[in-house]
A and B are shown apart, each in its own frame.
Chain A
Amino acid sequence: MITSMEETELYKENILDHYKHPRHKAEMNDATHHFTAHNPVCGDTIAIYIKISNAAIIDVSFTGEGCAISQAAMSLLADHLLGKQMEEVDTIGESDVYQLLGIPISHTRKKCALLSLTALHHALKSGTTINQPSNGIHYD
C-alpha cells in the first residue's frame, strides 16, 4: 500500500539501487586524498578516498554507513567524480548533489544528502593526510 507519490519519488528505484548496490564502495590504499565525514546527529559516516593525478580524479571510492539518502548520494557523487578534471571538481556544490539525486530533498534530510559533499571538500583540502579525524563536522 504505497499510497503517496512522494514515497515512490523519494525512494525511487535509482536511489534504492545505489543504496543497496553502492558503486565504488571500497577502501583505497594508495589514495592521495582522504577524509572521514561524520554526522553525530544520526551517526551517518562517509569515508572518501580520492586518487588525483595530472589534475584529474583518476580513482575514487568510499566506505560508510547510514540512511539511504546519505549513502546513495555518495555513490552517485563517486560516479560523477570519476575522471573529472580538478577545475570541474572545484565547482561542484550542493545543487549538483541534489541534481544527482534527482528528487526534492526536505530541510531535515539536507544534512544526509550533503555529507558526501562535506567529505569531498574536506578530502580535497586535507591533501594526502590519511585518517584525518572527523571532528569539526557538526550539524547540530
Chain B
Amino acid sequence: MKQDFPLLRNGLVYLDNSSTTQKPAVVIQTMNDFYQQHNANVHRGLYQLAEQATERYEEARKTVAIFIGALPEEIIFTKGTTESLNLLAYSLGRTLQAGDEIVLTDMEHHANIVPWQQLVKEKGIIIKFIPLTTDYRLDLQKAKELITSKTKIVSVTHLSNALGTINPIQELANLAHHVGAWMIVDAAQSVAHFPVNVIELNCDFLAFSGHKMYGPTGIGVLYGKKELLEKMEPFQYGGDMIREVTKERATWNDLPWKFEAGTPNIAGAIGLAAAISYLQQKGMENVERQGKEITSYTLEQLRHLPGFTLIGPPTTERRGPIFSFTLQGVHPHDVAQLLDHHHIAVRGGHHCAMPLMKTLGINGTTRFSCGLYTTKEDIDALLIALPEVQEVFA
C-alpha cells in the first residue's frame, strides 16, 4: 500500500493523518494531467477544451455525490470543512433570531465552534454544549435535555479529531428533527475511515475536506439536502453563482452553482474525485476493517506502556484509529519532537480543540492518527520509541 504513496517510500512512519493524509500517485498524476491536457475555465468557454474541463469538473461532483449517497446538485465544492461550516453559519445564521439555540458538543474542532460564536455576538444566539461521559463519549441523556424547541441547529463531529470517538449521528439527528432543528455533521475525519452515507445518517448538512482523505488541499465539500439549499441565501457573490445581473440587482443560479462564486478549484475537485476512486477501489468496508484491526492492536499494546494515559475511548467500540495520549513527565511538544528524530510524525498540542482540552483539564496531548497505509509495524516503531522518549526525561 505504501508503494502507492510517493512520499512514504522512504520509510517515514507517518502518523499525523488527522492533520492531513499523504497523496497516492494517481491523485498527483490526475491533477498533472488536468493541467497539462484539459485546463480551461468551467461553465464559460464554448470551445472544446472548456467543454472538457467542465465535463471533468461536473463528473467529479457526481463521484462525490455517489460516494456519500447524495444527488450531484446537493454537492457544493468549497475550500474545505472550515469553509463549508462557515457557509452554513453565514447562510443559516441569517434566518436565526435572538434566543434561538445552537447545540454543539464538548469535543468540537474550532471550525465547528468559532463560526457559530459569531452569531452569539451578532444576533444573540445561544450556544449549548453536550458534555462528555467519563469514557470520552457524548452524554446522550444530557443531549436529550439540551435539544429543545428553542434549538434550531445541532452541529456535531462524526469522528473526533482529538479523541477518536465516533458519535451516534442518527440518534442526534432524530433528536434534532423531533424539535424541527437542522442536523449538521462535521465529517472531516470520518469520510477517510469508514463508509459515510447522508441518507443513513439522516443529516441535513455534512462537511468534509479533500486533503484528509488522500485528496489535495484547498478543496472540500458541503452536502446539503436539496430542498434546504434551494431556500438558502448564497454565501459569496460574484461570477458563476448568478443567473442574471443588472446594475441594480442579480438573481441566483441553480443549485449547486448558487453557492460556488468565482472560478472554483477545478483541479482540486478532479483530484478529490481521483482520491475517492482510489478509496472505492480499495473498498471503504476494507478501509474500515483495517482501521478496526489497527485500533484493536494499538489499544492492546498501549496497555503495557508505563506512564501512558489514553485520552479517548478505551475500547474498540465506536472509535476510529485516532489516539490521543499524555506521557507522564513529558510535554506533548517534546514527545512529538523526539519522535521526529525516530522518523515518526505525530502531532502534539491542543488539536484545534482548546475548549475540549480545558474541559479535560490538560494543556494538550500527543496524537497519532492512522491512515489506510498504517501498518502494525508503524505502531510497533512508535511503541519502541515512546519508552526511549521517556528515558530522555527520566
Q: How many A-B residue pairs have CB under 8 A?
A: 54
Complex interface: chain B residues within 8 A of A2 (CB): 341, 388, 392
Does B350 contact A43, Cβ atoms closer than 8 Å? yes
Contact of A67 among B333, B341, B388, B392 (CB under 8 A): B333
Does A112 contact B333, Cβ atoms closer than 8 Å? yes
Complex interface: chain B residues within 8 A of A27 (CB): none
| Complex alpha-carbon distance, A11 and B340, angstroms | 13
Range of interface residues on chain B? 20 to 34
Complex interface: chain B residues within 8 A of A65 (CB): 363
Does B337 contact A10, Cβ atoms closer than 8 Å? yes
| Complex alpha-carbon distance, A42 and B364, angstroms | 7
| Complex alpha-carbon distance, A68 and B364, angstroms | 15
Contact with A along B381-394 (1 / 0, CB 8 A): 00011001000110
Contact of A11 among B338, B357, B385 (CB under 8 A): B338
Contact with A along B314-346 (1 / 0, CB 8 A): 000000000000000001111001100110000
| Complex alpha-carbon distance, A41 and B342, angstroms | 25
Complex interface: chain B residues within 8 A of A11 (CB): 334, 338, 392
Min CB distance B383 to A, Å, is: 13
Contact of A68 with B334 at beta-carbon distance under 8 Å, contacts A3-B342, A4-B341, A20-B393 already known? yes
Which residues of chain B from 347 to 369 have a CB within 8 Å of any chain A CB?
Answer: 348-350, 354, 357, 362-364
| Complex alpha-carbon distance, A66 and B363, angstroms | 9
Min CB distance A82 to B, Å, is: 26
Q: Kindly report which residue of chain A lies nearest to residue B391, judged by CB atoms.
A: A2
| Complex alpha-carbon distance, A55 and B11, angstroms | 57
Complex interface: chain B residues within 8 A of A7 (CB): 338, 341, 392
Q: Kindly report which residue of chain A lies nearest to residue B394, judged by CB atoms.
A: A20
Tell me, yes or no, whether A40 is within 8 Å of chain B by CB.
yes
Complex interface: chain A residues within 8 A of B357 (CB): 43
Q: Kindly report which residue of chain A lies nearest to residue B342, judged by CB atoms.
A: A3
| Complex alpha-carbon distance, A66 and B330, angstroms | 9
Does A16 contact B392, Cβ atoms closer than 8 Å? yes
| Complex alpha-carbon distance, A10 and B389, angstroms | 13
Q: Kindly report which residue of chain B lies nearest to residue A45, judged by CB atoms.
A: B363
Tell me, yes or no, whether A109 is within 8 Å of chain B by CB.
yes
Contact of A42 with B349 at beta-carbon distance under 8 Å, contacts A11-B338, A68-B334 already known? yes
Does A68 contact B363, Cβ atoms closer than 8 Å? no
Q: Kindly report which residue of chain A lies nearest to residue B349, judged by CB atoms.
A: A42
Does A68 contact B331, Cβ atoms closer than 8 Å? yes
Min CB distance A100 to B, Å, is: 18
Q: Kindly report which residue of chain A lies nearest to residue B354, judged by CB atoms.
A: A40
Does B331 contact A67, Cβ atoms closer than 8 Å? yes
Does B331 contact A6, Cβ atoms closer than 8 Å? no
Q: Kindly report which residue of chain A lies nearest to residue B357, judged by CB atoms.
A: A43
Contact with B along A60-100 (1 / 0, CB 8 A): 00000111110000000000000000000000000000000
Complex interface: chain B residues within 8 A of A41 (CB): 349-350
Complex interface: chain A residues within 8 A of B332 (CB): 42, 67
Complex interface: chain B residues within 8 A of A112 (CB): 333
Complex interface: chain B residues within 8 A of A3 (CB): 341-342
Min CB distance A118 to B, Å, is: 17
Contact of B393 among A6, A42, A44, A68 (CB under 8 A): A68
10 A-B pairs, CB-CB below 8 angstroms? A3-B341, A7-B341, A19-B393, A42-B331, A42-B332, A43-B357, A66-B331, A68-B331, A109-B337, A112-B333
Other than the known A67-B332, A69-B334, A112-B333, what 14 A-B pairs have Cβ atoms closer than 8 Å? A1-B342, A3-B341, A3-B342, A4-B341, A7-B338, A10-B337, A11-B338, A19-B393, A42-B333, A42-B348, A42-B349, A43-B350, A43-B362, A109-B337
